[in-house]
Amino acid sequence: MKAFEARFRSELEDHGIKCERLSEEEIWRLAKQRAIDRFTQAMSGFVGRCRKQWIHPDQLAQKIATHHPISAIERWFLNVACRIYKAYLDRLAATNRNDFDGLMQRAVSCIANGQTNFARAGSEAIDLKALRYIFIDEYQDFSESFYRIVQAIRQINPRAELFCVGDDWQAINRFAGSDLRFFRNFEMYFEPFSKLYISTNYRSTSAIVEVGNQLMHGRGQAAVADTDRQGQVLIADREKFNPTVLEEQRFTRAALTPMLLRLASRALREGKNVLLLNRRKDLFVPDGGRKSIDQYLGIVKNFLPQASRDRIDISTAHGSKGRQADVVIVLDAYERSYPLIHPDWVFSRILGESMEEIEEENRSLFYVALTRAREELIMVTESTRASPFLREILARTQISDVDWINYPPLPSNTRWLVVKVNGSCEVNEQLKAEGHRFRGNTRSWDKGFLKDGFSIALLQNTLWARQASGEQQSRLECCIHDDDDTPVAKYAVVAGQWSCVFDKLIDSGEPKQVT
Of 237, 233, 188, which is closest to residue 212 (Cα–Cα)?
233
The burial of 20, by beta-carbon neighbours within 10 Å (0-12 exposed, 13-18 middle, 19 or more buried), is given as exposed
Helix/strand/coil for 77: helix
CA–CA distance, 55 with 89 (Å, rounded to integer): 12
CB burial string 146-168: b at 16+ within 10 A, e below: bbbbbebbbebbeebebebebbe
Q: Do 100-196 and 204-406 fold alike per CATH?
A: yes
Report yes or no: 459 and 431 within 8 Å, Cβ to Cβ: no
Cis omega (within 30 of 0) on the bond before 192?
Answer: yes
CA–CA distance, 257 with 246 (Å, rounded to integer): 13
Q: Residue range 454-482: average pLDDT?
A: 88
- Count how many residues are written for the chain: 515
pTM above 0.75, yes or no: yes
**Position 17 confidence tier, pLDDT thresholds 50, 70, 90:** confident
CA–CA distance, 458 with 451 (Å, rounded to integer): 12
**pLDDT tens profile 229-247:** 999 999 999 999 988 888 8
Cα–Cα distance list, 96 to 84, 99, 109, 228, 241 (Å): 18, 11, 17, 59, 59
CA–CA distance, 492 with 499 (Å, rounded to integer): 5
**Position 19 confidence tier, pLDDT thresholds 50, 70, 90:** confident
More confident site: 203 or 248? 203
Query: Which pLDDT value is given to residue 414?
Result: 64
CA–CA distance, 376 with 507 (Å, rounded to integer): 46
**Position 484 confidence tier, pLDDT thresholds 50, 70, 90:** confident
Give, rounded to a whole angstrom, the gap between the first and last alpha carbons of the chain: 68
**pLDDT tens profile 128-187:** 999 999 999 999 999 999 999 999 999 999 999 999 999 999 999 998 899 999 999 999
Query: Which pLDDT value is given to residue 37?
Result: 87
Beta bridge partners, 118, equal: 126
If residue 327 lies in a helix (H) or strand (E), which one and from where to where?
strand 325-330
Report yes or no: 205 and 226 within 8 Å, Cβ to Cβ: no
Rg of the chain (C-alpha set): 31
- The secondary structure of 140-168 as a DSSP string is GG-BHHHHHHHHHHHHH-TT-EEEE---G
CA–CA distance, 308 with 301 (Å, rounded to integer): 9
The residue type at 50:
C
Cα–Cα distance list, 237 to 271, 323, 378, 383, 482 (Å): 25, 25, 10, 6, 27
**pLDDT tens profile 422-444:** 987 788 899 989 889 888 877 89
State yes or no: pLDDT of 401 exceeds 70: yes
Q: What would be the CATH architecture of the domain defined by 204-406? A: 3-Layer(aba) Sandwich (3.40)
Centroid of chain to Cα 251: 19
Query: Which pLDDT value is given to residue 1?
Result: 66
Q: Residue range 343-372: average pLDDT?
A: 96
The residue type at 168:
D
Helix/strand/coil for 64: helix
The residue type at 34:
R
Query: Which pLDDT value is given to residue 515?
Result: 33
The residue type at 425:
C
Average pLDDT score over the chain = 91
Helix/strand/coil for 501: strand
Report yes or no: 386 and 337 within 8 Å, Cβ to Cβ: no
Report yes or no: 359 and 311 within 8 Å, Cβ to Cβ: no
Q: DSSP character for 506?
A: S
Cis omega (within 30 of 0) on the bond before 339?
Answer: yes
Superfamily of domain 100-196: P-loop containing nucleotide triphosphate hydrolases (3.40.50.300)
Query: Which pLDDT value is given to residue 512?
Result: 42
Task: Sketch the domain layout of the chain as residue ranges.
Answer: 2-94, 100-196, 204-406, 416-503
CA–CA distance, 310 with 300 (Å, rounded to integer): 12
Residues with Cβ < 8 Å from 463, sequence gap 6 or more? Answer: 427, 430, 433, 434
The residue type at 277:
L
